């Protein structure tokens, strides 16, 4: 029986040719990976979108195009199976049938072109070969600097022009260029040329090769309090790889998961509706009418105490006809602050200590805001809304409608007729979250609905809600 070949690890340095300062990565890969798998490694390591064709070759394609003759054996080149079948290429091989070890058997360099239009040429150099350690991953990112160029930016010349304009705040095209970059990179994308998102790429590689401990979001962190169940982690886990990387960068850049201390005086006004409700339910509970509604006197007291009565047409004493109180109670039940037990409202055990303690109540509301009962689509839409409130990119309802619907469309959500979503979908998709935020005073001034920026308290609660 032949001896089993021991695993070998190739340490490779990959750099994008022609760009200064240099964009590079050092990557360890098992030499048994096919070039098709190595292509995926490169896409993750550089955070490309994998939306263009690519090609591996033993010779420098730029040198060949410049007419420099080659001496020696015929160089090999590899493409994906689709390109072989559809483009009728001659002399190319299937990248799935050659390993990176075989392609680097002559010690390289190897060349990788991504996007034949922009012509991003990567030079792959072998640093060393070594025996794999026990349980060593098939691929891991060791180090690197700077993010890859923006997709479709026009090659080296176009990219450098964009970089120069971004660096010059006084440039007449600075604003339009930033707008183009925002469109090119997708939701939560940024024009920071230095942020390579190395930690995120490491997590993506672990996920790509099926490590049991791989965590999809790349955000779980004991220091920030983010767990796999946190809304921000759940959203990130369901995103395509490039958008997940965008979100990670965005969260880091905005410090959205940094420490946020709540004090009673800062949040008392915002949580007043829920404070009134849990106080009226109290430790002893509140008996409902035979129809299952809160007593008329309690409803009227709430409308009066919360300053909602003056804007209400009607007696404001029937919960079924007085939607501010009806929605307040419904949202409190969805967030499991209170519950209906045999015709009697009761506080859940964790809510009782929050009576008379606004900051503690705000923390509980924040924790349950995106964990309340709702559909998956509402959860995604609600999380997008809360991110915009937390990072300050959403200040008005119009901005909220635009941002939430645009991102949902980017993620591929459609209406029942298979069309892109339009703004009227905003209300139904964000309704559970928006009802809570409305009670907290979102877009209100002097107790009245106005399109005004959210209060600091609402923003802090939004940041806490992401965890």
In terms of domains, do 126 and 177 share one? no
Cα gap 320→329, rounded to integer Å: 11
pLDDT of residue 214: 53
3 state SS of 10: strand
Q: What is the pTM of this model?
A: 0.80
pLDDT of residue 1: 44
Number of folded domains in the chain? 3
76 CB-near residues (< 8 Å, 6+ apart): 57, 58, 93, 98, 103
Determine, yes or no, domain membership for 164. yes
Q: Look at residues 382, 383, 437 and name the one whose alpha carbon lies nearest to residue 256.
A: 383
In terms of domains, do 93 and 159 share one? no
Residues 89-139 pLDDT 10s: 778 899 999 999 999 998 889 999 999 899 999 999 999 999 988 888 899
Residues 208-258 pLDDT 10s: 886 555 566 778 888 888 998 999 999 998 888 888 888 988 888 888 988
Determine, yes or no, domain membership for 159. yes
In terms of domains, do 110 and 49 share one? yes
Q: Could you give phi then psi for residue 465, rounded to 5 degrees?
A: -65, -25
Q: What is the CA radius of gyration of the chain?
A: 28
In terms of domains, do 304 and 428 share one? yes
Determine, yes or no, domain membership for 214. no
In terms of domains, do 455 and 390 share one? yes
Cβ atoms of 343 and 287 closer than 8 Å: yes
Bigger pLDDT: 186 or 449?
186
Determine, yes or no, domain membership for 236. no
H or E segment to which residue 243 belongs: helix 241-254
Cβ atoms of 59 and 121 closer than 8 Å: no
In terms of domains, do 164 and 287 share one? no
Q: Last residue of some domain: 110, 145, 180?
A: 145
For residue 177, give both structure tokens: 């260029």
Residue 112: give its domain's CATH number. 3.10.290.30
Return the residue matching tokens 């970059």.
181
Cβ atoms of 48 and 114 closer than 8 Å: yes
| Residues paired with residue 9 on neighbouring β-strands, in sequence order | 30, 130
Residues 17-74 pLDDT 10s: 999 999 999 999 999 999 999 999 999 999 898 989 999 999 888 876 555 665 666 7
pLDDT of residue 384: 98
In terms of domains, do 60 and 167 share one? no
In terms of domains, do 451 and 333 share one? yes
In terms of domains, do 169 and 138 share one? no
Determine, yes or no, domain membership for 157. yes
Determine, yes or no, domain membership for 315. yes
204 CB-near residues (< 8 Å, 6+ apart): 44, 218, 241, 244, 245
Cα gap 339→386, rounded to integer Å: 25
In terms of domains, do 430 and 298 share one? yes
Which runs of E-coded beta strand occur in 211-294?
A: 286-287
- pLDDT above 90: percentage of residues in the chain: 69
In terms of domains, do 185 and 88 share one? no
In terms of domains, do 97 and 162 share one? no
Determine, yes or no, domain membership for 338. yes
Determine, yes or no, domain membership for 371. yes
Domain that holds residue 277: 264-465
């Amino acid at each position: 029986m032949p001896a089993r070949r021991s695993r070998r690890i190739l340490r490779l340095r990959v750099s994008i040719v022609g760009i200064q300062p240099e964009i590079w990565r050092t990557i360890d890969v098992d030499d048994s990976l096919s070039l098709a798998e190595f292509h995926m490694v490169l896409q993750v390591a550089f955070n490309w979108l994998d939306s263009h064709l690519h090609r591996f070759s033993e010779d420098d394609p730029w040198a060949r195009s410049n007419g420099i003759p080659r001496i020696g054996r015929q160089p090999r080149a590899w493409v994906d199976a689709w390109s072989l079948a559809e483009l009728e290429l001659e002399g190319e091989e299937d990248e799935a049938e050659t390993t990176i070890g075989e392609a680097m058997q002559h010690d390289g360099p190897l060349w990788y072109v991504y996007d034949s239009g922009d012509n991003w040429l990567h030079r792959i150099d072998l640093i060393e070969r070594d025996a794999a350690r026990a349980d060593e991953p098939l691929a891991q990112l060791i180090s690197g600097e700077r993010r890859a160029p923006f997709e479709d930016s026009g090659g080296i010349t176009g990219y450098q022009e964009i970089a120069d304009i971004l660096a010059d705040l006084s440039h007449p095209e600075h604003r339009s260029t930033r707008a183009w970059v925002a469109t090119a990179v997708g939701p939560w994308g940024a024009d920071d040329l230095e942020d390579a998102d190395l930690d995120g790429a490491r997590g993506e590689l672990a996920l790509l090769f099926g490590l049991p401990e791989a965590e999809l979001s790349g955000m779980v962190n004991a220091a920030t309090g983010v767990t796999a169940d946190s809304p921000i982690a759940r959203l990130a886990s369901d995103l395509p790889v490039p958008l997940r990387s965008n979100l990670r960068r965005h969260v880091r850049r905005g410090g959205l998961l940094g420490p946020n201390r709540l004090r009673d005086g800062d949040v008392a006004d915002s949580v007043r509706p829920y404070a009134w409700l849990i106080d009226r339910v109290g430790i002893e509970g509140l008996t409902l009418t035979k129809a299952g509604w809160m007593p008329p006197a309690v409803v009227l007291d709430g409308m009066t105490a919360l300053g909602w009565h003056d804007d209400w047409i009607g007696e404001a004493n029937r919960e079924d006809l007085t939607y501010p109180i009806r929605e307040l109670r419904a949202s409190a039940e969805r967030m499991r602050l209170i519950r209906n037990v045999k015709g009697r409202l009761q506080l859940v055990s964790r809510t009782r200590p929050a009576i008379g303690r606004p900051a503690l109540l705000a923390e509980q509301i924040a924790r349950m805001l995106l964990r309340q009962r709702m559909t998956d689509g509402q959860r995604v839409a609600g999380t997008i809304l809360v991110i915009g409130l937390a990072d300050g990119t959403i200040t008005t309802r119009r901005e909220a409608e635009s941002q939430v619907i645009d991102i949902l469309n980017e993620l591929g959500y459609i209406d029942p007729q298979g069309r892109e979503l339009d703004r009227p979908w905003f209300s139904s998709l964000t309704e559970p979250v928006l009802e809570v935020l409305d009670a907290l005073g979102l877009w209100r001034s002097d107790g009245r609905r106005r399109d005004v920026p959210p209060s600091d308290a609402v923003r802090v609660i939004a940041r806490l809600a992401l965890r």
